[in-house]
Amino acid sequence: MRPVAISVDAPEVSRNLCRKKNYTYTFLSDPKADVIRSYDLVHPGAGINGQDIARPGEFLLDSSGVVRWRNLTEDFRVRARPEQIIEAAKALP
Amino acid sequence: MAPENVTERRRRNWHLWAGFFLCLIAIPTYPFVFARFPITRDIPWVNFLFFGTGLGLLFCGLKRAFGQPQRYRGKTAGSISALFSVSALSLFCFLIFQTRHLPASAGAPRIGQKAPEFVLTDINNQPVSLTSLLSTPLAHSSAPAKGVLLVFYRGYW
């Protein structure tokens, strides 16, 4: 399974984050929140300078791009636990 | 006449200082310590415990300071600390419940729907499409990934 992290952070910001924490998976930048908007995950004005950012959400897609599992937390402090995601990934064909 | 009250020095009111200290650390320990563990992050019960115990101690301390002013100090300092601590608790509650104000996102792709295609820039400023993520083989195998997990996050700015 391939994890892909998406936010409004610029590529440089994500690059520094990956270097600091030794993340090796894909980080993508959506600075104008266009894709975030197309997924209806936009949190208008919630950024520190009033910019639009994403509300947290995870989607597990199968190899044809169909959503098999998703998690839209009601509270951004509460995240999906890794065990939940691994369970869902095991169920992929 | 034996001036026993006059010579007895007023004691420090340790309840006030302990209570104030607990309320002081109750907010910063959340992001720096307790938010790291889901068990103490999802519901910040330890921080509420710090506030509860701290305010309880402050209350005891104030009772002593006002009830027995000859034996215990701290009427002014204690009142100011208590006021600060109650404000800190209100601020903490406000901040914690703020995180629940999220948009409904009713239009987000549901189970069984195809996720919208996109092209975004990776950390090396290269364009990456969802199609390529789904079809490109993973680093150490020849087969494409069984699936892709899209993790949308707020960002660190």
* Closest CA–CA distance from residue A49 to any residue of chain B (Å): 9
Chain A environment of B115 (Cβ under 8 Å) = 39, 59, 61, 65-67
- How far is the C-alpha of B113 from the C-alpha of B51, rounded, in Å? 46
By C-alpha distance, which of A55, A54, A60, A52 is closest to A82?
A60
Q: What is the band of B102 on the pLDDT scale with cuts at 50, 70, 90?
A: confident
Chain B environment of A92 (Cβ under 8 Å) = 146-147
Segments forming the whole domain that contains residue A32: 1-55
pLDDT for the residue B7? 47
pLDDT for the residue A1? 84
pLDDT tens-digit readout, B110-125? 999 999 999 999 999 9
pLDDT for the residue B9? 65
Other CB atoms within a 10 A radius of the CB of residue B17 amount to: 17
pLDDT over threshold 70, residue B52: yes
Could you tell me which residues come within 8 angstroms of residue B153 by beta carbon, excluding any fewer than 6 positions away?
A: A5, A6, A7, A54, A56
pLDDT tens-digit readout, A5-28? 999 999 999 999 999 989 888 999
* Closest CA–CA distance from residue A10 to any residue of chain B (Å): 8
pLDDT over threshold 60, residue B17: yes
CA distances to B34, B43, B45, B119 from B39, rounded to whole Å, are 8, 8, 9, 37
pLDDT tens-digit readout, B78-97? 889 899 999 999 999 988 88
pLDDT for the residue B49? 93
Q: Is the dihedral of CA B68, B70, B73, B74 positive or negative?
A: positive
**Any idea where the domains of chain B sit in the sequence?**
4-98
pLDDT for the residue A66? 93
Count of the separate structural domains present in chain A:
2
pLDDT > 70: what percent of chain B?
94
**pTM assigned to the model:** 0.71
pLDDT for the residue A84? 83
* Same domain membership, residue A47 and residue A8: yes
Closest CB to B122 among A11, A55, A69: A11
* Same domain membership, residue A82 and residue A45: no
Q: In what order do the strands lie in the sheet with A57-62?
A: A67-71, A57-62, B147-152, A2-7, A26-29, B119-121, B127-129
Which SS3 state, helix, strand or coil, does residue A6 take?
strand
Which SS3 state, helix, strand or coil, does residue A8 take?
coil
pLDDT over threshold 70, residue B106: yes
pLDDT for the residue B8? 57
* Same domain membership, residue A11 and residue A51: yes
pLDDT tens-digit readout, A39-86? 999 988 888 778 889 998 999 999 899 999 999 887 777 777 888 888
Q: Could you tell me which residue, B126 or B70, shows the higher pLDDT?
A: B126
- How far is the C-alpha of A32 from the C-alpha of A28, rounded, in Å? 12
* Same domain membership, residue A24 and residue A9: yes
By C-alpha distance, which of A17, A53, A16 is closest to A35?
A53
pLDDT for the residue B112? 92
Tokens 């950390």 appear where? B123
Which SS3 state, helix, strand or coil, does residue A55 take?
coil
CB contact under 8 A, B150 and A54: no
* Closest CA–CA distance from residue A41 to any residue of chain B (Å): 6
